[in-house]
Amino acid sequence: MSDSYQPKPDHKFTFGLWTVGNPGGDAFGQPVRRKLSPVEIVHVVAEAGAYGVNLHDNDLVPIDANAAECDRIVAEFKRALSDTGIVVPMATTNLFSDPAFKDGAFTANDPKVRAYALQKTMRAIDLGVELGAKIYVFWGGREGVESDAAKNPLDAGKRFREAINFLCEYVRDNRYDLKFALEAKPNEPRGDIYLPTTGAMLGFIATLDHPDMVGVNPEMAHEQMAGLDFMHAVAQAWDAGKLFHIDLNDQNFCRYDQDFRFGSHNLKQSFFLVKFLEDVGYAGSRHFDAHAYRTEDAEGVKDFARGCMRSYLILKDKTARFNADAEIQALLKEINADDPTVAAFAGKYSRDKANALKAHPFDRIALGNRGMRYEKLDQLVFDLLMGIR
Ligand code: GLT
Ligand code: MN
Ligand code: MN
């Protein structure tokens, strides 16, 4: 593999313990790979050249571990971090695996489950902060329904809001340097999950007591499951100042949660996403929330991890080529050219401006006849991505 695509810590590439550690079980079949310990995963990720690992509380500490076991596991894990230089930029809570959460966590109908979810999350926040995390993700995989007879979405929304408000206060009270990032998903494992898209999350954040502490963690495959353009969701989050974290992966549109290697499926969408992140100067983690195909062994897992980062770096290189390509840039300039005959109408409203615009003659037929040259532009992008230019 070419050296120019070698990952470095500055690239901020991270993997979840649950991603590289995924043993390949699915709804129809057993695991196919040995379960790696958190310490082993840290070494795999470090050898692949990543910057960090992210974790759920129970990726590291089993849900039924006692205090002494917990201390031992955390100490061993910290040693692996310091041996390798791997950091933990993000942490989260597993509020979906245990049967206690079968009807949700913060939105569960049983108030004891809701209280337990808060307790588990406060403890997991303490652990994440201890490990150095600055971002705390909330993915509510069980926060939904199969039947709307079971739960009123207004109640669910109120409960979710109360939980996030409570936890924001907990972080403030403890003076933790921690921000929250909400991750949307349309369905799976619930039939329908509340707040199913990044756009829905952004609307919800505005209703919180401390909206400044809360942003989003958009996941590529989750928007694609809903048939949406991921880069547009990311752009809206960026515009709102809410792109606190990002989950990169890939998948076929409108299917189950495939979590494929980044760059493995939708080449152009992946390119425009990388281009967006690089052009705006997104400085957060590039987290790969994906896993190796079930066909792979331990070596295939390494191929998967290296492949995610390599594809990102290749697409970053393509971004630089796109931005430096004289023909593409000339075409973009032509497409976006200002028109002095209407320049006076742009920008802020004034009554004079509105009156002048209302009186302005437009050649509607000519507007409709203009060719936009997008076919040519898009083919240039294709040629560039294929290495022809
Ligand atoms: C789970 C889910 C991911 C979330 C993780 C964080 S866990 O694997 O599919 O999209 O980001 O809870
Ligand atoms: Mn996913
Ligand atoms: Mn995710």
- What tens digit of pLDDT does each residue of 232-289 get? 999 999 999 999 999 999 999 999 999 999 999 999 999 999 999 999 999 999 999 9
- Number of Cβ within 10 Å of residue 1's Cβ equals 8
* CA–CA distance, 143 with 106 (Å, rounded to integer): 7
Name the residue of 97, 183, 185 whose CB sits within 8 Å of the most ligand 1 atoms, as the mutation to test its pocket.
Answer: 183
Taking the mean position of all CA atoms in its chain, how far away is CA 259?
12
Please indicate whether residue 57, judged by its CB atom, sits closer than 6 Å to ligand 1: no
- pTM of the predicted model as reported, rounded to 2 decimal places: 0.97
Please indicate whether residue 183, judged by its CB atom, sits closer than 6 Å to ligand 1: yes
Token readout for 71 is 């201390």
CATH fold of the domain at 3-323: TIM Barrel (3.20.20)
Token readout for 49 is 């050249």
The SS3 assignment for 42 reads helix
For residue 2, pLDDT over 90 is answered with: no
- Tell me the pLDDT tens digit for each residue of 13-37: 999 999 999 999 999 999 999 999 9
- Tell me the pLDDT tens digit for each residue of 135-189: 999 999 999 999 999 999 999 999 999 999 999 999 999 999 999 999 999 999 9
Mean pLDDT of 106-128: 98
Amino acid 114: pLDDT: 98
Name the residue of 14, 139, 190, 225 whose CB sits within 8 Å of the most ligand 1 atoms, as the mutation to test its pocket.
Answer: 139
Q: Which residues of 245-261 are buried (b: 16+ CB within 10 A; e: fewer)?
A: bbbbbbbeeeeebbbbb
> At residue 112, what is the residue type?
K
Nearest of 71, 64, 156, 62 to residue 108 by alpha carbon? 156
Maximum distance among all Cα pairs of the chain, rounded to whole angstroms: 79
For residue 3, pLDDT over 90 is answered with: no
Average pLDDT, the chain: 97
From 3, 10, 56, 317, active-site residue = 56
Please indicate whether residue 137, judged by its CB atom, sits closer than 6 Å to ligand 1: yes
Nearest of 129, 13, 138, 33 to residue 74 by alpha carbon? 129
DSSP class of 343: G
- Number of Cβ within 10 Å of residue 207's Cβ equals 12
User: Ligand 1, atom 6: nearest CA belongs to which residue?
Assistant: 139
Q: CATH 3.20.20.150 occupies which residues in the chain?
A: 3-323
Residue 4: which pLDDT band, with cuts at 50, 70 and 90? confident
DSSP class of 262: T
Mean pLDDT of 182-211: 98
Nearest of 207, 184, 210, 187 to residue 197 by alpha carbon? 184
User: Ligand 1, atom 7: nearest CA belongs to which residue?
Assistant: 139
